[in-house]
Structure 1
Amino acid sequence: MENKVKNNDFSDIIFERKSVRLYNKDTKISHEEMLEMIQEATTAPSSVNMQPWRFVIVESEEEKKKLKPLIRFNTAQNDTSSAMILIFGDMECYEYGEEIYNQAVEENKMSSEVRDQQLEVILPYYKNFSKQKMNDIVKIDSSLVAMQLMLVARSHGYDTNAIGGFESDQLAGAFDLDKERYVPVMILSIGESIDAGYQSVRLNADALTTFK
């Protein structure tokens, strides 16, 4: 797969990122590049490496029409972006535990003994979490990958907007996912910006930080 990174300037990627709401409607992102960006983003950390994030890429006009009534006041992004990336947390992510840890062994990143020891503890632990506890874990982990995906997108020459205003009780079902298993976390619009993005301010670190 050809790497399509256009920008490796860390400062530009971080400090010039803006929330973009208007995009070039004619810009398309290939499935190959979208998967490349997601692969890069999923180097984000997750609790015991369970990787609970799941992605639905809404790019066709038909599917965008289905999404539009569910995203409240964020319709400009839906109308103009190359795609809307729906990020869900998998409440049964532990089902992939053996696959993940087996891959680690195959790639000589973990011994089979360590794999067996960890899975023996982790899998029952995860399966016994309350629904609220698991919900918290998958949302934290999926938010980490969402932020990383926004930065990866900038390195590929695209801009994004993180969207939290949507009908969370309807999103999974609208795209044929089990709403009990897949918890909506965030939607990212992505595309080629035709908008300067919103200028914003941040509170000073000393107002937010306590040293003990």
Structure 2
Amino acid sequence: MSTLPGRRRGPSKGDRRERAILETARALLARKPLADITIDELAAGAEISRSSFYFYFDSKIAVVVALLHDMSGDLGRDSGPWLDGSGPDAESLRAALTALAVLWRDQSRLLAGALAAAPGCPPIAQWRAGLRAAHVQRLAARIERDRAAGLAPAGPGARVLAGLIDDLRAAAFAGAEDPEALVGDLVTVELRMIYGNFGDHHPAG
């Protein structure tokens, strides 16, 4: 079978260098804050010159934005069973929050730095807004389903409530020394925000 015209057989040298810059940034962020990382360090880690760095990224922020987009799938990877389910399912919520807490533990400097920079950095703000909107849409749909089924009480608008929950999570994890230690409390708080005294609700089986 012939190869289609223009089809790459594998990653190009440019692809590999771009990936090397991103991996260097990820490794550096594990050791020190974003503000302390320099272009020279990123270039040296990728074994390219400073001038070559600018062929792939126009700034350090552009590297951060690329890392954040790479991570977007991981941030919501384990939330499906909770967001697509029904009723005060503490175990599904706990699993979703635990996965999120582990990611925050491993990528705390990148995520916390991104949230702090977002108000003054349109590309990061756009990333955060898109991530928030996707979560709010799915969580609001869940809240509306449960209210329609009589599993959750009436309350604030579903999108308003979902937005408050998303903002609460981000603020809690951004300020936590041990994100995993917050999971139990977040499960309780989020379920109470949606279901009130959720222990009194018994979904029909």
TM-score category of the 2 structures, normalised to the smaller one: under 0.3
The two structures have a TM-score, normalised by structure 2, of 0.27
**Larger % of helix: which?**
2
* Higher relative contact order (Cα pairs below 8 Å, separated by 6+ residues): 1
**Larger % of strand: which?**
1
* Structure index of larger Rg: 2
